Structure 1
Amino acid sequence: MKRIAEGRTAEIFQEHHESVIKLYRSGFPKDAIIYEYEITKQVASLGISVPMVHELVEMEGRIGINFEYIEGKPLLQKMAEHPQELDDFAEILAEMHVTLHRCEVPADERGKPFRKQKEMLAHNIHQAPQLSTDEKHAILQILEALPNGNRVCHGDFHPDNAMVGEKRWIIDWMTGMVGHPAGDIARTLILFRYGTLPEAAPSHVKDQLQAMRERMGHVYFNYYLAHSNLQMDEIDQWMLPVAAARLTEWIPEEEKDQLRSVIRERLKLK
């Protein structure tokens, strides 16, 4: 098998021209892998453009998912290759997110396998070792007051999870959930502002992407607001709990330090 991509949590191998295997790093939680397998099938049943799921596999003590092979490139790669088209790609990203958020999860499917947004955020906030008990309590109170939602949310939507070719695809559904679009947008904005760039990317690509990040996020956010019913203040209300929940993820310490600073500054303003 040929390795065609990798990230912090998994490597992607092309098995043949019709399928790929997403093989997770050793020690990655099995229940999270099973959830991605189940939620991807469920999202596909709602008509969202995702790669078809074939089966769970185990190779050399590592667990993976066999997916349909799809043609295309991540928007992140296209942005790096064609920086002069940055605004167009940022608008495509926003359009894909707007379209996703129009998809309602039927009432009888809002249990398993769909996890609930506020419950997932609350769980992660409780688990964040970087926050004090008082900080957690204050953030959880803010989260509790936020509205619930019934829309499909990706939970980690960014240019590396949007594939574009003859067709547009949304990949990596491990954080998929039912919830409020404003929380999903807040997550994307936090990734634009503070997210660490892919470790596998060459240094010159990272430098290029870093320079484009602010512009990219600006165009994406303005397009989304113009084509949805959300207002800026609705999204801003979610920034604090979403940032706090991210502290429990497999991210570099430098990013956690940035998030801690943002969280504490916002708590001072409450």
Structure 2
Amino acid sequence: MTAGRDLIGTGSSADVWGIDDSRVLKLFHPGVIEIPVALEYAAASLASDIGVAVARPLARVEEEGRLGIIFERVTGPTMFAEMIRRPYRMWPLIRALARYQVALHGQVPGTVDVIPDMPTVMAHRIARSGAGRDVQARASMRLASLGTERRLCHGDLHPANIVLGETGLFAIDWSKAMIGSPAADAARTELLIRFGHGGQSGTPAPMRFARALTARWYRFCYSRLSGVKDSTIRAWHLPVAVAWYKGQADLRAAGLADYIDAIARERHIN
């Protein structure tokens, strides 16, 4: 299955193998069902069709019982890897991430069949959240009060899902894509920057402060570049955070549970 190929990346759900200079194969781990694979293929295809810079999907395949997608090959490091290697580039790169996301949200996708609607997905995730019934109820009420739009949203856009290609930024991993509100997608990215990849041992206080500051910088850049009000993005924090939190130890250690508790009771919104 992998003879003659180089393993060039691995993640929680898939391995990426180089086929040749122009193509790669994303081969999902055994047990991954068809729905997220079909969603990633459909969302990445739609993004490419409306002019967004992505690794364009070429074909769906199955090898030895594992589902896969063949993509155009985009060469370059991830934004996250570049930020680790050259920390002084972090804030310009975060601004570039915001600019990419604004461009994505500026495109109107037209008729969409496979990609789910954001309100439906988020309502389902909030109902299954580990945040507690009272907080779930507050998040559901907030979700219902917020308007929605029909724009393509990546759903998991953060520096590790951005490749710095030769011609610019390219988003990968579209398996959580939705059709919905750009402000919600921006709020999701902000919270990923702030609380993602925390580790079960927790995040030291100085790192928490740095990540919170970087997340605010992202929100400022997105708001400034898009014209979406800062308060509109912040209004999405509660439903987005509650939908994300299922009691994961790493997110609890990173401070997401405490943050949810605070914004649910409106002690602070930042």
Assess same fold via TM > 0.5: yes
TM-score range, shorter chain: 0.7 to 0.9
Is the 1:117–1:178 contact (alpha carbons within 8 Å) kept by the matching residues of 2?
yes
Selected match of 1:245 from 243, 246, 256: 243
The count of aligned residue pairs is: 257
4+ long deviations beyond 6 Å = none
Is the 2:44–2:174 contact (alpha carbons within 8 Å) kept by the matching residues of 1?
yes
Is the 1:91–1:223 contact (alpha carbons within 8 Å) kept by the matching residues of 2?
yes
Report % sequence identity: 28
Change (3 A) 1:135 1:153: same
Change (3 A) 1:15 1:88: same
Structure 2 letter corresponding to 1:162: I
- The equivalent of 1:138 in structure 2 is 138
Is the 1:79–1:85 contact (alpha carbons within 8 Å) kept by the matching residues of 2?
yes
1:188-242 residue CA offsets vs partner (Å, 9 max, x unmatched): 111111101699xxxxxxxxx9886345334322222221211111111101110
Q: What secondary structure is seen at the aligned counterpart in 1 of 2:228?
A: coil
Is the 1:15–1:21 contact (alpha carbons within 8 Å) kept by the matching residues of 2?
yes
Change (3 A) 1:42 1:246: same
Is the 2:56–2:71 contact (alpha carbons within 8 Å) kept by the matching residues of 1?
yes
Structure 2 letter corresponding to 1:122: A
The more displaced of 179-188 and 57-66 is 57-66
Is the 1:56–1:65 contact (alpha carbons within 8 Å) kept by the matching residues of 2?
yes
Deviation at 1:181, TM superposition (A): 1.2
Mapping for residues 176-195 of structure 1, pairs under 5 Å? 176-195=177-196
Structure 1 letter corresponding to 2:166: E
Is the 1:244–1:259 contact (alpha carbons within 8 Å) kept by the matching residues of 2?
no
State the distance in 2 between where 1:30 and 1:197 align. Answer: 29
Q: What secondary structure is seen at the aligned counterpart in 2 of 1:269?
A: coil
Structure 2 letter corresponding to 1:263: I
State the distance in 1 between where 2:199 and 2:12 align. Answer: 8
Deviation at 1:182, TM superposition (A): 0.9
State the distance in 2 between where 1:36 and 1:51 align. Answer: 11
Give TM-score, length-normalised by structure 2: 0.85
Mapping for residues 205-220 of structure 1, pairs under 5 Å? 213-220=211-218
Q: What secondary structure is seen at the aligned counterpart in 1 of 2:226?
A: coil
- The equivalent of 1:204 in structure 2 is none
- The equivalent of 2:9 in structure 1 is 5
- The equivalent of 2:203 in structure 1 is none
Change (3 A) 1:29 1:198: farther
Q: What secondary structure is seen at the aligned counterpart in 2 of 1:230?
A: coil
Whether 1:266 aligns to 2:255 is: no
Is the 2:46–2:109 contact (alpha carbons within 8 Å) kept by the matching residues of 1?
no
Q: CA RMSD in A?
A: 2.6
- The equivalent of 1:117 in structure 2 is 118
Structure 1 letter corresponding to 2:80: L
State the distance in 1 between where 2:209 and 2:67 align. Answer: 36
1:55-76 residue CA offsets vs partner (Å, 9 max, x unmatched): 2222333222111111222111
Deviation at 1:256, TM superposition (A): 4.4
Mapping for residues 26-65 of structure 1, pairs under 5 Å? 26-65=30-69
The more displaced of 137-146 and 182-191 is 137-146
Structure 2 letter corresponding to 1:180: S
Change (3 A) 1:133 1:252: closer
- The equivalent of 2:228 in structure 1 is 230
- The equivalent of 1:71 in structure 2 is 75
Deviation at 1:30, TM superposition (A): 2.1
Is the 1:75–1:160 contact (alpha carbons within 8 Å) kept by the matching residues of 2?
yes
Structure 2 letter corresponding to 1:21: L
- The equivalent of 1:205 in structure 2 is none
- Structure 1, unmatched stretches of 5+, are 200-208
Is the 1:6–1:12 contact (alpha carbons within 8 Å) kept by the matching residues of 2?
yes
State the distance in 1 between where 2:79 and 2:138 align. Answer: 37
